[in-house]
Amino acid sequence: MATDYDAPRKNEEELDSDSIEELKTRRNEKSSPAVDEDETEAAEGFELPGADLSHEELAVRVLPKQADEFACGSCFLVKHRSQLDHEENGMGICKECAY
Ligand SMILES: [Zn+2]
């Protein structure tokens, strides 16, 4: 009975490898090398400036508030001291939120 199990397994493996090789050859035939190069160049062009932009955004967000600025405890925006209406629980409240 064991030999009966081995026989179909070998056939399946042969079928799998055959289909994989077929897929590989089909892919090579479908995608022309010119298209592959264009796609690679486009992806690289997008990645480099994207990384730089995210770094700049991070630097802007981390920028500490200045001495004449405060972070509103209600809207959480960093505003100028002139926009400070009052303080609540040690948090500045801007004039817009005080209304
Ligand atoms: Zn506010």
> Would you say the pTM of this structure is higher than 0.75?
no
Distance 53 CA to ligand 1 centre (A): 28
Give yes or no for residue 86 having a pLDDT over 60: yes
Q: Name the pairing type of β-strands 91-94 and 84-88.
A: antiparallel
pLDDT tens by residue, 21-39: 777 777 766 655 556 666 6
The token pair at 60 is 């802007």
Task: Name the band, by pLDDT with cuts 50, 70 and 90, for residue 20.
Answer: confident
* pLDDT tens-digit map of 41-80: 655 555 555 555 555 555 555 556 677 999 999 999 999 9
Alpha carbon of 60 to ligand 1 centroid (Å): 20
Describe the chain by its helix, strand, coil percentages, rounded to 5.
65, 15, 15
Cα-to-centroid distance, 99 and ligand 1 (Å): 10
Strands (E), the chain: 69-71, 78-80, 84-88, 91-94
